[in-house]
Amino acid sequence: MTRVKGGTKTRRRHNKILRITEGQRGTKHRLFRRAHEAAMKSLLYAYRDRRARRRDMRRLWIIRINAAARLHGLTYSRFMRGLKQAGVELDRKVLADLAVRDAGAFARLAEVARGAAPAAS
């Protein structure tokens, strides 16, 4: 079998990985093999945590909506059910933003939800 010399290509590939792991401690940013392991692991974490961030944000929105709804005498589930029955199609992100930034608008939504909830019961 013939000998393959990959000098510049191999060095470029190695340097690309070493640049990715630049800020890491110890051999993780110096030695190619350790750097490659660290880079693969960090890319996996990044992929996983982009999905986890969506879950975390949804949880935060629900907590904020629940807190604001309870100030108006409703639980989160009754508030959301009332909005759905009233035909209000605002997502949790917008509702949480209203709860934090515009208490008056959220109070009106709470009244709408309260008015629609007994109609179905």
pLDDT in tens, 11-55: 999 999 999 999 999 999 999 999 999 999 999 999 999 999 999
7-120 has which CATH code? 1.10.1900.20
Residue 31 tokens, joined? 């030695």
Number of C-beta neighbours around residue 41 at 10 A: 12
Residue 118 has pLDDT above 80, yes or no: no
Q: pLDDT at position 4, please?
A: 79
31 DSSP 8-state letter = S
What pTM does this model have? 0.75
Q: Using CA atoms, how far apart are residues 45 and 41, in angstroms rounded to an integer?
A: 6
Q: Please give the single-letter amino acid code of residue 71.
A: L
d(CA 65, CA 91): 11
